[in-house]
Structure 1
Amino acid sequence: MRQFVLIVTVLLLALVLFSQFNESPLVPPKPRIVAVEGQGEFEVLPDIVRLHYNVSSLHDSDPAIAKAEVDKIASASVRALMELGVEESDITSSALHVSIQEDYNRNDGSRTRRHRVQRNVEAVLRNPNDYSRALQVLVDSGISEITHIQPEVSNLEELKQKALADAARKARQQADFLAAQFDTEVERVHQIGRQDVQRHFEMREMVAHAAKGGDAPEPPPHDFKPAKVKISSQVFVEFELE
């Protein structure tokens, strides 16, 4: 038994000495890592604009009269958009909303109850050049309120991939730059971390032009068009150094 223990002890000592003097240790060293963040961003003109508007009317006693007024104005707005070139299938409406509106008079403390009828409409402009004229025909038709304008791009997924590719390229550039500062080089990707792609599609307008023709007594209004929308991305990458 003692001889067996002695043999095992000698073997363990030999293994330890071998691992210390061997150029290839038993446990590989941990890789040297550089962690970077890449950001990609670019702007494009929207090719779709969604217009959200509503038509509402109040009447003291009869909601049917208010509804008739709403139907008249809403129909006029739809016809005006279709004459502009908007497809009928791109104009949708929510269910008619009928409610009681109560107004309070602070002067005498009286309350007035009236019937309120409202219809919400959404129109999709697939030609952003019609944007300014679409707003004008809606106002001329007598709508109550334009509640929201949403610019969009039809190839969003393609643009998101381009933004992410740009972020990855810039991450590699940063890793190469940092490695060069310490006289080394990037060997390979160790880990790709969180990826984040955002779209910034808030509505902004830009002045396109104001064409003046003939002897107009007043300068014409500017032609406003949707401004560019921004798509940005972030990617976190860890690279192994040589």
Structure 2
Amino acid sequence: MKKIAWLLPALLFASAAASAADAPPPRLVAVSGQGEVSVAPDRARLSLAADALHPDLKTAESQVNATVRAYLAEAKALGAKDEQISTAGISLNPEYVWDDKLHQQKLVGYRARRTIEVVVTDLDKLGDYVLRATKAGVNHVSPPQLESSRSDELQRQALAKAAQDAQARAKLLADTLGVKLGSVRSVRANDEVRPMPVMYKAEMRVAAAPMADASGNEQIGFAGGEIKYSASVSAEFDLAER
């Protein structure tokens, strides 16, 4: 009796496993959805740098520090606050050239570099921030990175649109095939829901000659365009008979 009692659970388990193996696979539909939201930017990040090469290290350092101080004064005159400006980046490096006569590297001086990051919240003054940078002696200006202060909200909107698109695609397929769309079985969202700057619309070109009574944006030919937030979703839905 003990042996039969021990075998009974094993037989029941084997029977259940056989039934599961014989069961038809679930009827599913797998779809993907896309979502996009566009918005006009309301702020920009400027990346600037000042560097100087000089035989004397202290002189090179003093030159870039003076440029940074001059630009800080210009930026604050435009309304920038302390928390919108960062000047923490600094590097000091020896610079060499190859001497053909000596067949070795020759020290020509020291290059000092300071970086400046500015968050511009008034895009009407973006051109002024750029023009005053060159006026202060800043010799590296990268294209502005346009942003929206509603970034997190817009990312969620794009993701919601992607999920709705996936569900609509699944329902269209189910209706076309004459079956009923069931509950969602699995969902996988794109991990990179992020703004995509449309920089080709942000044309920047410094005018060859100063334009009388023109704003800074007009002088550099700046147009903000739009920022696009996009997301994608992959989902599986159950299918059932109507």
- Which AA in structure 2 matches 1:83? A
What is the TM-score of this pair, normalised by structure 2?
0.74
Residue 100 of structure 1: how far off its partner (Å): 1.0
Correspondence for 1:241 among 221, 239, 242: 239
Residue 192 of structure 1: how far off its partner (Å): 1.8
Correspondence for 2:30 among 27, 30, 35: 35
CA distance in 1, matches of 2:59, 2:66: 11
Counterpart position of 1:69: 63
Gaps of 5+ in 2: 1-21
Counterpart position of 1:225: 223
Residue 108 of structure 1: how far off its partner (Å): 9.5
Counterpart position of 1:186: 181
- Judge which range, 66-75 or 159-168, deviates more: 66-75
Counterpart position of 1:125: 120
Deviations 1:136-191 (A, max 9, x none): 11112111212463222222221111011100111111111111221223132222
Answer with 1 or 2: which has the greater Rg. 1
Counterpart position of 2:45: 50
Counterpart position of 2:12: none
CA distance in 2, matches of 1:107, 1:173: 74
Does residue 1:101 correspond to 2:99, yes or no? no
* Shift in CA distance, 78/203, structure 1 to aligned 2, threshold 3 Å: farther
CA contact (8 A) 2:34 2:166 kept: yes
Deviations 1:192-236 (A, max 9, x none): 23444243236444469x9x989x9xxx74640333222111111
CA distance in 2, matches of 1:64, 1:162: 52
Does residue 1:199 correspond to 2:195, yes or no? yes
Gaps of 5+ in 1: 1-26
Does residue 1:88 correspond to 2:85, yes or no? no
What is the TM-score of this pair, normalised by structure 1?
0.74
Does residue 1:159 correspond to 2:154, yes or no? yes
* Shift in CA distance, 169/204, structure 1 to aligned 2, threshold 3 Å: same
Say how many residue pairs are matched. 210
Q: In structure 2, the residue corresponding to 1:82 is in which secondary structure?
A: helix
Aligned residues with identical type, % of pairs: 27
